[in-house]
A and B are shown apart, each in its own frame.
Chain A
Amino acid sequence: DAGVIQSPRHEVTEMGQEVTLRCKPISGHNSLFWYRQTMMRGLELLIYFNNNVPIDDSGMPEDRFSAKMPNASFSTLKIQPSEPRDSAVYFCASSLALGSYEQYFGPGTRLTVT
């Protein structure tokens, strides 16, 4: 298995632009997680899905952030409009189920908003 796939790996955009991050979870995994990592705040859970349904989005920082999972093999995290403080590494992870011991993380997308 290729593991969790994220694209793009790097994104540089200007403030005010829309940014879309993409994630393909491991086949057969029913739960998907979006995290954000910065030096100041560490690794934060933004939102997670189970069977394509959003379960908890309390970690999403603002209404500018939205996430969707239209099917079991694809999820997007969108920021519109983007701001410099959104600059971070965004990780997607998947697991067999919400209560699974192990989450498998993707390589991350490094977002820079200028």
Chain B
Amino acid sequence: DAKTTQPPSMDCAEGRAANLPCNHSTISGNEYVYWYRQIHSQGPQYIIHGLKNNETNEMASLIITEDRKSSTLILPHATLRDTAVYYCIVRVPSSGSARQLTFGSGTQLTVLP
């Protein structure tokens, strides 16, 4: 699976949009981009995923560049409860044994009041 690079930490003001970048310059054509987050003392939580089109759900939006070498997770109106570590993962959604989630170090997002 392609490796990802994320900034170790970011701050965001409450109520503002939080834009979390991820670089995955070695992504292959069949690899999806996934985002998970982990709130302190909880298990990771799935947020969103995409292949090449931009995606939106009730939690966030995912913007993937045309060359697919980077992406941005957008939390449109961040709240204090969005403070968490955000993980960007690229993976082929296959049942193959080597194709499971690999969590890196992620980005610690702190939403400030």
Interface positions of A (Cβ within 8 A of B): 4, 33, 42-43, 45, 48, 50, 55-56, 91, 93, 97-108
Q: Could you tell me the distance between the alpha carbons of A101 and B94 in the complex, rounded to whole angstroms? A: 9
The count of A-to-B residue pairs whose CB atoms sit within 8 angstroms is 52
Given contacts A99-B94, A101-B34, 5 further A-B contacts (CB under 8 A): A43-B44, A43-B103, A91-B44, A93-B43, A106-B43
B46 x A33 contact (CB < 8 A): no
B110 to nearest A CB, angstroms? 18
On whether the beta carbons of A100 and B44 are closer than 8 Å, the reply is: no
For chain B, what secondary structure do more than half of its interface residues adopt (helix, strand, loop), or is it mixed?
loop
User: B residues engaging A (CB < 8 A)?
Assistant: 32, 34, 38, 41-46, 49, 93-105
> Which residue of A is nearest B100, CB measured?
A45
Asked whether A50 and B95 contact (CB < 8 A) given A42-B105, A103-B101, the answer is: yes
Q: List 8 A-B contacts (CB under 8 A).
A: A4-B43, A43-B103, A55-B97, A98-B94, A101-B32, A104-B46, A105-B42, A105-B45
Least Cβ–Cβ distance between A81 and chain B, in angstroms: 27
Complex Cα gap A36–B1 (Å):
20
Q: What are the residues of chain A within 8 A of B38 when measuring CB–CB? A: 43
Bound-state Cα–Cα, A78 to B94, Å: 28
Question: A108–B43 contact, CB under 8 A?
Answer: yes
